[in-house]
Amino acid sequence: RKEVEQDPGPFNVPEGATVAFNCTYSNSASQSFFWYRQDCRKEPKLLMSVYSSGNEDGRFTAQLNRASQYISLLIRDSKLSDSATYLCVVATGGFKTIFGAGTRLFVKA
Amino acid sequence: DTGVSQDPRHKITKRGQNVTFRCDPISEHNRLYWYRQTLGQGPEFLTYFQNEAQLEKSRLLSDRFSAERPKGSFSTLEIQRTEQGDSAMYLCASSSDRGGGLAAYEQYFGPGTRLTVT
C-alpha cells in the first residue's frame, strides 16, 4: 500500500463546477498535511497547508480527518486557470515529506 | 531572483557515465530536499538536509546516489554509473524554520533538472 494515495483522475469539469479531491495516508503518526499544485512541465507550488480544524482560502477549502487518515480539497466555482495536477503531501517523522501521485484536473469552458 | 535555482536544466548522458546536479536554495533556508519525479507520478522523496547535515535518505536511494551540502548553502546530487531507469526530473526544494508551525514545512521548489540516460 502506498503511503499517500489520491484519486487517480483525471477530473474533467465545466467552468463554475465544484470539484473535490480526496487523499488518504497510511502512517497514523503523520503530523502535517498540504496541498500542492503542479502545472504541466512546471515545479510543484504550495497551494495551502491543511489545519486540523480545516481551513479555507478563497474558493479553496481543505479538511483533515485524522481518525480516518483522510484529507480533502474542495474547489468551488472552478476556473480555467485551475487546470493542473493537485498533489497531496504528508509530512511523516521529522521533515520527510511524501507526495501522492497527484490528481489531474481539466476545467473546460 | 531569489527563488530556488538548479543547474543544469537538462542533461543527456550515456549509460554508465556519472552526472552531478547543483541546487541553490532560497537564501537562509536551512532545509534542502531532493526529489525525483517521473511522468504521471508525484515527486518521490530522495533525501533532505538540515543545514549541512543529511538527516534522512530514502531506501530508494541506492549507493550510486550521493548528495552533499558542504557549507549548508548549495547542494549537489551525484549519480554514478547512470542507468536508463535514472531518467527523470530531479527536483530540489528548500524550506525555513522561520514562522514555525506548518510554515516550517512549506517547501519552495526549483525548476528541476531533467536527466535523460541513453
- pLDDT band at residue B2 under the 50/70/90 scheme: confident
**Cβ contacts of B112 on chain A, cutoff 8 Å:** 43
Query: Tell me: the pLDDT tens digits for B37-50?
Result: 999 999 999 999 99
Q: What Å distances lie between residue B28 and A25, A45, A86, A95, B92, CA to CA?
A: 31, 19, 28, 17, 15
Query: Tell me: the pLDDT tens digits for A23-73?
Result: 999 998 888 999 999 999 999 999 999 988 999 999 999 999 999 999 999
Q: β-strands A103-108, A11-14: how paired?
A: parallel
- What confidence score (pLDDT) does residue B71 get? 86
Q: Is B27 exposed, middle or buried (0-12, 13-18, 19+ CB in 10 A)?
A: exposed
Distance from CA of B111 to the nearest CA of A (A): 5
Q: What Å distances lie between residue A77 and A1, A59, A74, A81, B100, CA to CA?
A: 34, 7, 10, 11, 32
Name which of A4, A87, A95 is nearest B105 (Cβ-Cβ): A95
Whether the predicted pLDDT of B35 surpasses 70: yes
Quickly tell me which residue has 537562509 as its cell: B28
Whether the predicted pLDDT of A7 surpasses 60: yes
Q: What is the mean pLDDT of chain B?
A: 93
Task: Identify the three-state secondary structure at position B86.
Answer: helix
Cell digits for B87? 531518467
Cβ–Cβ < 8 Å for B45, B112: no
Query: Tell me: the pLDDT tens digits for A64-88?
Result: 999 999 999 999 999 999 999 999 9
- B44: which strand partners? B36
Query: Tell me: the pLDDT tens digits for B72-113?
Result: 899 999 999 999 999 999 999 999 987 777 778 889 999 999
- What confidence score (pLDDT) does residue B1 get? 55
- What confidence score (pLDDT) does residue B59 get? 83
**Cβ contacts of A45 on chain B, cutoff 8 Å:** 109
**Cβ contacts of A99 on chain B, cutoff 8 Å:** 35, 42-45
Distance from CA of B56 to the nearest CA of A (A): 7
Quickly tell me which residue has 488518504 as its cell: A24
